[in-house]
Amino acid sequence: MTTTARRTVYLDHAATTPMLPAAIEAMTSHLGRTGNASSLHGSGRAARRTVEESRETIAEALNAQPSEVVFTSGGTEADNLALKGLWWARLADNPARRRILLGGIEHHAVLDPAIWLAQHEGAEIEWLPVDELGRVQPDSVAEAIAKDPESVSFVTLMMANNEVGTLQPIQEIAAIAATHDIPVHTDAVQAIGQVPVDFVSLGADAMTVSAHKLGGPYGIGALVVRKETKLAPILHGGGQERDVRSGTLDAPATAGFAVALEYSIKHQEDEARRLTELRDALIRGVVDAAPGAKLSGDPVGRLPNNAHLSFSGCEGDSLLLLLDARGIEVSTGSACNSGVAEPSHVLLAMGYDDQRARGSLRFTLGHTSTRADIDAVLDNIGPVVERAKSAGLQNVGRNN
């Protein structure tokens, strides 16, 4: 007897999205070639040409200068380079610059280096208030700066939240900071390819990008840094990448990165329209099928591919595993720390209570998503929520 393999419904594109065929082709075409981009012989020059052509493609897509694109191993390294590099460079110019302004909704790739700087380098973290939609208001940034502009090292604020999808007013905040010559870093990992991003118009001094969120390869990203912005290196060695990020450059990965980014930017408007329709159908259907389900984040100013919902009376982890058993892969709003599920720090910062922060799911769509994927969720979400609620009630009964 033969069995038909069950189709997997993948709705966790914010975690990573499948590589685009064109990016796979670009990357694999270079994998069999030998050459270190720092070598002066023919093979080295060929590798360097691949890297620099990729850099030019990425810069053009983001409206930056090629020299402003610093390749890294991914978004986490780019965020660390931005925060630590800005901190040490600014401190060297003025030892009084010890305040870091950031919101409590940041990705851990930003939160953790900021906290590390506070614990080991004497940084003073000032948490910017976040409203119930997950947004930092420009006025609150202006007020924080106005207390003592000379003591501010930098401002860091993500362009789009990775959990609830809320978009931040980066352009307005960057304009406020610029009046005091305070640099602004933004983690744009979730935003690029989803919404229009123009580095010049944005006004930020540094911007983080990651390839695998765009249909490119794992293990490569970039920090886009204005030419006049000073950064202290956190990796030392061969002096590659403007002497702020030493290390042998991955020519095949840069090629795949460039193709994926160029494709995502070129098709951004049409894809955003398509994903918004699917996302809205998903939100309406889930709210109808699961009484008590509520949308998190800004209902309007959000990423086109993000549907983050909380469910009363059940745990997000239970919902995730029950959906996974039915072949539907999503993400929970909880972060797993040493095997212990904790409430999402993003939702807690937005003022959610502990139960709602634990009982959330994030559905994120991408270039492989279809209406059939949405229908699969809607066919299963009602029974899954009911089962999760029953399991929660049974656990409460056993604990009493």
Residue at 69 is within a domain: yes
Q: What is the pLDDT of residues 211-254, one digit of tens each?
A: 999 999 999 999 999 999 999 999 999 999 888 999 999 999 99
Q: Is the pLDDT of residue 188 over 70?
A: yes
> Are 276 and 238 part of one and the same domain?
no
> Are 232 and 115 part of one and the same domain?
yes
Residues of the chain by 3-state class (helix, strand, coil), percent to 5: 45, 15, 40
41 token code pair: 């012989």
Percentage of residues of the chain with pLDDT beyond 70: 94
> Are 244 and 276 part of one and the same domain?
no
> Are 175 and 218 part of one and the same domain?
yes
Final residue in a domain of this structure, among 266, 299, 324: 266
Q: For the residues 188-209, what does the mean pLDDT come to?
A: 98
> Are 252 and 106 part of one and the same domain?
yes
Query: What range does the domain containing 102 cover?
Result: 21-266
- pTM for the structure as a whole: 0.94
Q: Is the pLDDT of residue 52 over 90?
A: yes
Residue at 10 is within a domain: no
Q: How confident is the model at residue 338 (pLDDT cuts 50, 70, 90)?
A: very low
Q: Residue 367: what residue type? A: H
Final residue in a domain of this structure, among 242, 266, 290: 266
CATH number at residue 121: 3.40.640.10
Final residue in a domain of this structure, among 219, 237, 266: 266
Q: Are the CB atoms for 244 and 85 separated by under 8 Å?
A: yes
Residue at 295 is within a domain: yes
> Are 38 and 170 part of one and the same domain?
yes
> Are 304 and 325 part of one and the same domain?
yes
Q: Which residues are designated catalytic?
A: 336
Q: Residue 272: what residue type? A: A
CA dihedral 157, 70, 221, 264 (to 10 degrees): 90
Structural domain count of the chain = 2
Q: For the residues 10-33, what does the mean pLDDT come to?
A: 96
CATH number at residue 312: 3.90.1150.10
Q: Is the pLDDT of residue 337 over 90?
A: no
Average pLDDT, the chain: 93
